[in-house]
A = this chain, B = another copy of it.
Amino acid sequence: MGNYCFGIDVGGTTVKCGLFHTDGTLVEKWEIKTRTENHGEAIVPDVAKTILDKIEEKGIDKADVDGVGIGVPGPVTESGDVLVAVNLFWGFKHLAKELEELTGLHAKAGNDANVAALGEAWKGAAEGAKNIVLLTLGTGVGGGIIIDGKIVHGAHGAGGEVGHACINHAETAVCNCGNHGCLEQYASATGIVRIASQELARTKDESILRNSTLTAKAVLDAFKAGDEVAIRIMESVGDRLGGAMAIFAAVVDPEAFVIGGGVSRAGQPLIDCIRKYYEKYAFPTCRETPISIAALGNDAGIFGAARMVIQEK
């Protein structure tokens, strides 16, 4: 076992990079630009170069590097193949294999939300837990399932795609995935704005939300300030989200739920609102399962990516 490894988190704009000690200490982090032109053909070579440059800069013996873990925004199979990554302009790609060839280092790849879940289970909000469910509430709803300390990639790279759990068969609006009634349509930032618009149109009740541009942040701020319309909106979101989490608990019964993404900045009031409905719908023995806000923020991806190449030891 070497002393170093790399964790890489590829986003649509920047690639976050981390050099770690294999005990989980972050030695250094930095970013490079994500060059998406020409179907993103430079991205993997750029990642390989920045890793090799760092090894040289630090005077590290390459034999002392355990490997490179990399997270990308798209479905990834257990063998490290990316099926598609729309934001990177990638089609199918043997990502882990390509990165191994370019760096001469052992490589593992995973979906970015799954990798973030592994990071939170390793060094974040659920530190030390072997079984967790992470939900990231951002523009969409992503997620990651960790079982026995490992990512559940799924047979089609769709493990942890909890944002596309279809929870409302009566929904008429269409989700980005083409279905109707996905969790993402209620619990993402976009979904919260959608529910808020509906509620503001349904009622004439006064609300501070009527005086400004309607954003998820505005709704969450009004909710925390005690605005009654905003409270009704977030109770509705909490009902959908807590209800979905209760179903997930009946499947994998995790030690902990972790909530990340921009919406999670609303903090404890959001957790309290989710928890109320989670407990209402959960199977009795799972009712006490902790629900926490993600702790690693934007670093969850590099931590989880690093963990992928360490845990195999």
List residues of A whose CB falls within 8 A of some B CB. Answer: 75, 83, 131, 133, 145, 147-148, 150, 152-167, 169, 177-179, 181, 239, 243-244, 246-255, 281-286, 289
Contacts and interface: CB of A to CB of B under 8 A. Distances in A.
B250 A165 contact: yes
20 contacts: A75-B285, A131-B155, A152-B252, A152-B253, A155-B289, A157-B285, A158-B285, A158-B286, A161-B283, A161-B285, A163-B250, A164-B283, A165-B250, A166-B243, A166-B247, A167-B247, A169-B239, A177-B284, A178-B284, A252-B252
Secondary structure dominating the interface of A:
loop
Given A148-B147, A285-B75, A169 B243 contact: yes
B166 A154 contact: no
Nearest to A283: B164
A72 to B, nearest CB: 16
Q: Which of the listed residues A133, A255, A285, A286 has the most CB atoms from chain B within 10 Å of its own CB?
A: A285
How many copies of this protein are present in the complex?
A: 2
Contacts of A244: 247
Contacts of A179: 281, 283-284
A165 B148 CA distance: 22
Contact of A252 (B154, B163, B178, B281): B154
A48 B18 CA distance: 53
Contacts of A284: 177-179
Contact of A158 (B148, B154, B155, B249): B249
Contacts of A133: 251
